[in-house]
Amino acid sequence: MTQIYPKVALIGLGLIASSMFWAMKRRGVAGHVSGYARSQETRDTARRIGLCDTVCDSAAEAVTEADLIVLAVPVGVMGKVAAQIAPYLKPGATVTDVGSVKASVVGMVAPLIPEGVHFVPAHPMAGTEHSGPESGFATLFDNRWCLIVPQDGGDEAAVERLESFWQALGSNTERMELEHHDLVCAVVSHIPHLIAYTMVGVADDLRRVSDQEVIKFSAAGFRDFTRIAASDPTMWRDVFLTNKDATLEILGRFTEELFALQRAIRTGDGEQLFDYFTRTRAIRRGIIDAGQDTEAPDFGRTKIER
Percentage of residues of the chain with pLDDT beyond 70: 91
How far apart are the C-alpha atoms of 35 and 62, rounded to whole Å? 6
Would you call 142 helix, strand, or coil by DSSP?
A: coil
Cβ neighbours of 30 (radius 10 Å): 25
- 192 to 101, 216, 290: CA distances (angstroms): 15, 24, 20
> Are 170 and 141 contacting, i.e. CB atoms less than 8 angstroms apart?
yes
Indicate where the chain has its CATH 1.10.3660.10 domain(s). 180-289
Indicate where the chain has its CATH 3.40.50.720 domain(s). 5-176
pLDDT of residue 209: 58
Q: What number is the average pLDDT over the span 223-245?
A: 84
**Torsion angle of the four alpha carbons 159, 164, 166, 169, in this order, in degrees rounded to the nearest 10:** -160
How far apart are the C-alpha atoms of 31 and 97, rounded to whole Å? 20
- 127 to 137, 155, 264, 271: CA distances (angstroms): 10, 29, 35, 37
pLDDT in tens, 179-208: 999 999 888 888 888 888 888 887 777 655
> At 63, which amino acid appears?
V
How far apart are the C-alpha atoms of 183 and 248, rounded to whole Å? 10
pLDDT of residue 306: 53
Band (299; pLDDT cuts 50, 70, 90): very low
Q: Could you tell me which CATH number the domain at 180-289 has?
A: 1.10.3660.10
pLDDT in tens, 54-77: 999 999 999 999 999 999 999 999
pLDDT of residue 300: 46
How far apart are the C-alpha atoms of 151 and 120, rounded to whole Å? 7
**Beta strands 145-148; 122-125: pairing state:** antiparallel
Q: In terms of Cα–Cα distance, which of 222, 231, 224, 190 is closest to 204? A: 222
How far apart are the C-alpha atoms of 37 and 197, rounded to whole Å? 27
Q: Indicate the class that CATH gives domain 5-176.
A: alpha beta
pLDDT of residue 243: 87
Cβ neighbours of 254 (radius 10 Å): 15
pLDDT at 218 over 80: no
> Are 299 and 219 contacting, i.e. CB atoms less than 8 angstroms apart?
yes
Residues 6+ apart with CB under 8 A from 243: 100, 101, 103, 104, 182, 185, 186, 190
Band (287; pLDDT cuts 50, 70, 90): confident
> Are 44 and 106 contacting, i.e. CB atoms less than 8 angstroms apart?
no
pLDDT of residue 168: 97
